[in-house]
Amino acid sequence: MTRRGILAGGNFIIDHVKVIDAWPEQDMLAFIQSETSSNGGGPYNVLKDLAAMGCGYPLEAAGLVGRDVNGDWILKDCEAAGIDIAQLQQTDRAPTSYTDAMTVRGSGRRTFFHQLGANALLGEEHFDFSRTQVKIFHLGYLMLLSEMDRLLEDGRSVASRVLEAAQKAGLLTSVDLVSSPYPEFRQITAAALPFTDFLILNEIEAGSATGLDLRGTPVNVGLIEKAARALLEGGVRREVIIHFEAGAIVVDKGGTVHRQSSLKLPQGFIAGATGAGDAFAAGYLHGTHENWPVAERLKLAVCTAAMCLTHPTPSQGLKPVAGCLKLVEELGFRNEGD
């Protein structure tokens, strides 16, 4: 059987994106200048991005939403985008998860207030890989899925069992994390690594997963490479992909390192940064699905991330693949050290 398509599972969230004039001090006031509601959560964003990119292969969703207005909205939104919702289930036990995302106009910096909702109940029983013929299973976000993050007595996690089941069914696996001060961040990540083919994360998450301090401006690319190698040694089977503001780096199991600068963005380009990491993941996963060389995957990924920045919501800025890649001609890449 030739597998084709991407199944994304995990967080399905309604994002309430509010653009504010400035971030207020405690007890002070900020003005909301605009607000919209949209898709949110790693798998939901990735699927909507891929649909907007005109990927041309099957897209499938697996997750848990409430039996409520927001849950109905997500199901209808996915169907309208051509996403298969056979494994996107509803529950009466919790409301649909939502996030209030506060985005500062001008800088694009955002802060999130999150209601876990039904995503906290998502577990092993909600995934059936015998029902799909896709090529890649993308799971996100670890640290934001209470049951999936649960560590078992043998040191495994529920997420690791789901990833193992996907691999046994013949799917490649991709995992994304969320930036969180979760006390068991390293243990939860470590449990999933041996069942992860592609690990996609930012430098903050890579630092939390390895214990390395990867913060700083400019970033220390050498340290980021060291973190990627540590994650490969921890069990990642194919590639570790770490993205950051200035670009991205990929280290594969053979030790080959690939680097890519981000695009040179003009003043006023950024309307909001919500979903940019997921847009990067969507670009990279599309190139992976299509068997592109790593360099071409990275180029598309930084372009899809940049295209996401043109709109406050996670996916409405995305364009077809050719339109995303056209940004290279229009903007060019940053110089190293910018």
Is residue 134 a part of any domain in this protein? yes
Is residue 3 a part of any domain in this protein? no
> Is the model more confident about 107 or about 147?
147
Is residue 1 a part of any domain in this protein? no
Domain count, the chain: 1
pLDDT of residue 1: 77
Is residue 7 a part of any domain in this protein? no
Is residue 203 a part of any domain in this protein? yes
For 288-338, what is each residue's pLDDT tens digit? 999 999 999 999 999 999 999 999 889 999 999 999 999 999 999 988 655
Is residue 4 a part of any domain in this protein? no
Q: What is the pTM of this model?
A: 0.93
CATH number at residue 200: 3.40.1190.20
Mean pLDDT of the chain: 95
pLDDT of residue 271: 87
Is residue 292 a part of any domain in this protein? yes
Asked whether the beta carbons of 201 and 172 are under 8 A apart, the reply is: no
Percent of the chain with pLDDT over 90: 87
Domain carrying residue 193: 13-326
CA–CA gap between residue 91 and residue 70 (Å, rounded): 12
- Give the Cβ contact number of residue 321 at 10 Å: 21
For 235-257, what is each residue's pLDDT tens digit? 999 999 999 999 999 999 999 99
